[in-house]
Chain A
Amino acid sequence: MDRKRIRVLLAKPGLDGHDRGAKVVAHALREAGMEVIYTGLHQTVAGIVNQAVQEGVDVIGLSIMSGAHVPICRKLTQLLKAEGVTDKIVVVGGVIPNRDIPVLEQMGVSGVFPGGTPFREIIRFIEENANGG
């Protein structure tokens, strides 16, 4: 079975500067055979969506440690809808309290991975859900 390599855009939206988690996951996904583009810090939501479309990625991964995950994800999922982008899944990692997970899922975030989630869980989820699964 020769599937196309999954392309992932890992993004750090907003002003939060904690990038250890994003970089660690970037390494893990690359080692799992995915193609990973890391945006660097301080990205705007519009900039992330734009880059995701330009690069034709299958997955948009957001890493958010500042606590602002709800407003940021709301903005991103709304923008994706407004632009008619439907071929990408959105996953989020970072400092995310359990109570916020259903809130994020309701907005259209496919997978939520709070800090400490094993790499294999993130990798499996992406492999099963990206690219139409």
Chain B
Amino acid sequence: MGVATYVKDEKDAIQEVILQSGIKVKPVYTPEDLEAVGFDYEKDLGDPGEFPFTRSLHPLGYRSRNWTTRQYTGFGTPEQTNERFKLMISHGQTGLNVAFDLPTQMGYDSDDPMAEGEVGRVGMAVDSLKDLEVAFKDIRLDRIGTGLTINAVASVMLAMYQAMAENFGYDRKRISATPQNDILKEIVGRGAWVYPVEPAVRLIGDVIEYAMKELPRCNPVSVCGYHIRESGCTPAQEISYAFLIAFAYIDNVVARGYRAEDFVGRFSFNLNVFGNLWETVAKFRAARKLWARLLRERYGVKDKKALFLRGIFGGGGSGMTKQQPENNIVRGAYYALAAALSGAQTTALCSFDEAYTIPTERAALLSLRTFQILMDEIGLRDTVDPLAGSYFIETITKQMEEKILEEMEKVEKVGGMVEAVASGYVQREVARQAYEYEKRLQEGQVTKVGVNRYTEGVDMEVELHEYNEAWASLQVERLRELKKNRDGRAVGRSLKALENAAREGLNVMPYLVTCSKEYATLGEMAGVFREVFGEYVEPGIF
């Protein structure tokens, strides 16, 4: 992944270019190519802000709405995270995107033996509502939207977030949070799964159903093609898998008696930007169009806004290299450009120290500045969908659409996404491609600057984010304090009620909010689900 395949002659002239999704790029495109793919302005593009939204979700694009910048942030204790949040906001960041440490993502408290060595390491540790109250102190929750990068126990975290906001005096109908809440992609590619597939998908459905009624400004799920692409799939597969995963969640909620129209407008996506620039732009344009079309066809969705493919396009983690790390600053700038040319609504960028660890303050700010330079200095807000009408871009956008549909068909043939994940079909497909890419990279068939070409030069030193084991002891100490001072019987009662709800198939969200307000810990709530649902057993597939 990362780049296309090139066939060259002995004079280094390019004979053939094949994009990762399998599209062959021609040396020259003319109006005849548009004719050959059956391009039609009204049908394929439409004006910006009009169905099928290929060009943009909004009529004036970035003129009327600059994109939201949402760097992934969080480490150590809630105090440190609060400080970093405020720093990023003071430098012009317009949204938050919370990084949680692995124990939190996996539903373990900081004092759990499974948490050893990991507390506060790759994100902030959250054991209870208390920690969120510290992390979000003095942040205007009615003005800033917050991404919560958590999946298996997203229900618990969203409930805590609501409880925190209400304790601070906000109306829950006015807060905006986006829990990632996408468990199927965790099983395919990111690995922070806890519960077996079926109850895990039910929890996703519970969050969507609850948010539809009680948290109207929250986006209950952020479907991530991103991590599947990071794990090795092609851009076309990234979109097709993300759509099929989204359909699985829609089906879960539709089966509860709702219309897709009533909730799908709050879905969001998290998609990746690295790779061949043109393929990336074509991917996003094709994706916006297909999503709108498929929602109409499959679920009869009519409301215009419910057809929007909204989301965060960014990251680019696996394009970043450990070798010659300063090159990643430049890569990041091109990835950001790709996101802007693709009409990203919200964005975030992996920082140049991505291949080592979570970003230092300096690295995170540099990513933010990269966005600001694009939008405020060099003119990416000037006009909407600037590449529209290019013979090349429109041709490959059409071709990309076909490729995405082909990939969707392959999965549907093996029984749909839930089945394809449960059987390991998708994981095997992704791992095989990751291996083939790595092999081509090592054999020099794919160029990666500073890795397998142009490797000369001094090894650059990178200042790294340092982890401090004292944070863990502090966090454990605080948890002990909490358990001593809360009303233990009230906690016990609220957890018992949660357990009943989980067993009886009731929506667990209201019960989680009650538990949170009693200062039940994340590990206790997640533990109730472990008890009731059991744990996912991963087959050793590669």
Contact = CB atoms under 8 A, between A and B. Distances in A.
A23 B435 contact: yes
A40 B539 contact: yes
A114 B431 contact: no
B191 A67 contact: no
B357 A67 contact: yes
A115 B322 contact: yes
Contacts of B438: 24, 28, 119
Interface string A8-42: 00001011111110111011100000001111111
Given A24-B438, A67-B467, A38 B117 contact: no
A4 B538 CA distance: 29
Contact of A41 (B191, B231, B451): B191
A130 to B, nearest CB: 19
* Chain B CB within 10 Å, residue with most, of A18, A19, A20, A67: A20
Interface in B161-213: 186, 189-193
A67 B102 CA distance: 11
A16 B357 contact: no
* Chain A CB within 10 Å, residue with most, of B190, B318, B321, B431: B431
Contact of B117 (A17, A68, A114): A68
A78 B105 CA distance: 28
A23 B434 contact: yes
B231 A68 contact: no
A15 B431 contact: no
A66 B102 contact: yes
A24 B1 CA distance: 13
Contacts of A23: 431, 434-435, 542
B356 A27 contact: no
A51 to B, nearest CB: 10
B442 A118 contact: yes
Contacts of A72: 117
B435 A14 contact: no
Interface residues of B, number: 43
A84 interface: no
Nearest to A37: B540
B275 interface: no
A16 B435 contact: no
A40 to B, nearest CB: 4
Contacts of B122: 66-67
B157 interface: no
Given A16-B191, A17-B192, A114-B322, A119 B434 contact: no
B254 interface: no
B355 interface: yes
Contact of B191 (A17, A28, A71): A17
B435 A28 contact: yes
Nearest to B464: A97
Contact of A71 (B116, B321, B323, B538): B116
B230 A119 contact: no
Nearest to B321: A116
A70 to B, nearest CB: 8
A95 B356 contact: yes
A23 B438 CA distance: 11
B302 interface: no
B458 interface: no
Contacts of B191: 12, 16-19, 41-42
Contacts of A12: 191
A41 B72 CA distance: 24
A41 B539 CA distance: 9
B170 to A, nearest CB: 32
Contact of B323 (A18, A20, A24, A116): A116
Contact of A119 (B102, B322, B439): B439
16 contacts: A12-B191, A14-B118, A15-B114, A15-B115, A15-B118, A15-B192, A17-B186, A18-B191, A19-B191, A20-B232, A27-B432, A67-B357, A72-B117, A95-B356, A95-B357, A118-B442
Interface of B: 102-103, 105-106, 108, 114-118, 121-122, 186, 189-193, 230-232, 318, 321-323, 355-357, 431-432, 434-435, 438-439, 442, 451, 464, 467, 538-542
Given A14-B117, A71-B116, 19 more contacts: A15-B103, A15-B105, A17-B186, A17-B191, A17-B193, A20-B189, A20-B230, A22-B542, A23-B542, A24-B431, A27-B431, A28-B435, A67-B357, A68-B117, A95-B356, A114-B322, A115-B322, A116-B451, A119-B442
